[in-house]
Amino acid sequence: MRGVLPVLGLLGVALLAVAQPSSWASVDPPPNPYGWHNTPLVTVTLNASGGSNLKVCYQVGSGGTVCQPPPAVLTLSAEGTHTIRYWAMDDTGQEFPKTVVVRIDCTPPRIVITSPARDAKYLLHQLVVVDWYAYDRLSGLEFAEASAASGTPLDTSFPGFQTFWVVARDRAGNTARAEVDYRVVCVIEAVLPSGFYLDRWLPPEERVLMWKRPVLARYVRGEPIVIAFRLLDAQGRAGAWTRPSLLLTQVRPDPEFEEKHTIWDLVPIPYDAEAGCYRLVYDSGKRDPGVYDLWVSFGDGQTERIRIQILPEEGKEGS
């Protein structure tokens, strides 16, 4: 009898172990290393083992208890944190409840850029302080980076169109990117006696409307057309900051669009280091008498369009 009792005791423990109901949960897809999902559909399968009348029971959040034969399949799609309590039970009783937590975040981080302002225009070398921030209300930010850190100077070191960007990623793996376009320009300073970029300028009473625009200057064929100006930065310093150019188009009447343009020349406007300004002398003798547009591009996105008339050499009448 002494040898039989220990054996019966061991068998009883084994039978109790087998009879004890047990449950487990699997999550598909599995969460990322931070414990988050960024998919709108997460499946939780609750399974169990045990004796007769085996059931798996669960509660989602503060909801009611549901019991059913295993497996119980739950699909979760709402963003946020879902806590599922579950346990197995059979005719012998029930196990102590377990918990599985599913966190869903499908919303990218929010990025707010207050400086630079969208489509803003800043002067060359102007001091502009960058101001931006990013946040995520659900999983929280994993990282955020930008062209420049908030509180540091914006890049205004070269003229033209530029883009400031911020990228961010939250702990669920959602990413966001925000961009703000801005422009860096120069102050255009006239250096010619006319007070403009062109050496010749008609008074208002002599300006004649030629199709869509008035003629602002006249030249006799063969006379030089002089364009000159300085480009200044935010501190008023002149320099060869950009690469300006002149586009010359001949303008003729057109029955459908009122006027038609023919491109004749595209030439750079060189920088005269001795004079400290940009200066171009264009030979009007290369062109036939007629109406022309001078498109002066200052190399920073600014453009001036000037309509002129080239007269025949033998008179001042328009062609």
| Segment 24-79, tens digit of pLDDT | 999 999 999 999 999 999 999 999 999 999 999 999 999 999 999 999 999 999 99
- State the residue for tokens 């961010």: 168
CA 96 to chain CA centroid, Å, is 52
Taken in order of first residue, the domains within the chain and their CATH numbers are: 21-104 (2.60.40.10), 110-185 (2.60.40.10), 187-311 (2.60.40.3720)
Residue 202 CB-half CA count within 13 A: 16
Residue 10, classed as helix, strand or coil, is helix
pTM, two decimal places? 0.79
Residue 61 has a pLDDT of 94
Residue 318 has a pLDDT of 43
Residue 15 has a pLDDT of 44
How high does pLDDT run on average in the chain?
92
Query: Pick from 137, 229, 134: which is nearest to 176 by CA?
Result: 134
Residue 41 has a pLDDT of 95
